[in-house]
Amino acid sequence: ELKVEQNPLFLSMQEGKNYTIYCNYSTTSDRLYWYRQDPGKSLESLFVLLSNGAVKQEGRLMASLDTKARLSTLHITAAVHDLSATYFCAVDKNYNNNDMRFGAGTRLTVKP
């Protein structure tokens, strides 16, 4: 059974600091997704990582995928308050985007 674990589950940061969120998964997969969710809102797609070594960057967020280690990271650079949200990773269970498993989410709070 595919399991997806994120850590930390809660993260409080000062503005301007850097930090990394980790996403580990238990079975072979080379497609991983990152989403953002604001309180009470839906999920917004951030990144789709398709292969080993994939790296994508958007603003202060950078995501990477190591399929051999079954690990993805979401790195936050010089955090700002607007990045406060819950971040989810999800792994494609059946290689066709039809059956994803989500991590529990990392609730990020960026303090001034």
Partner 1 sequence: DGGITQSPKYLFRKEGQNVTLSCEQNLNHDAMYWYRQDPGQGLRLIYYSQIVNDFQKGDIAEGYSVSREKKESFPLTVTSAQKNPTAFYLCASSPLGTRAVSTDTQYFGPGTRLTVL
Instruction: Tell me which residues touch partner 1 (CB under 8 A).
Output: 4, 31, 33, 35, 41-45, 48, 50, 88, 90, 95-105, 107
* Residue 83 φ/ψ, nearest 5 degrees: -80, -5
CB of 1 to partner 1, least distance (A): 9
**Smallest gap from residue 67 Cβ to partner 1 (A):** 14
Q: What distance in Å separates the CA atoms of residue 61 and residue 18, rounded to the nearest whole number?
A: 10
What the block records as the tokens of 105 is 């989410």
CB of 103 to partner 1, least distance (A): 6
Q: Which is nearer to partner 1, 19 or 102 (CB)?
A: 102
d(CA 109, CA 82): 9
Looking at the Cβ atoms of 50 and 78, the one nearer to partner 1 is 50
Residue with tokens 């998964």: 25
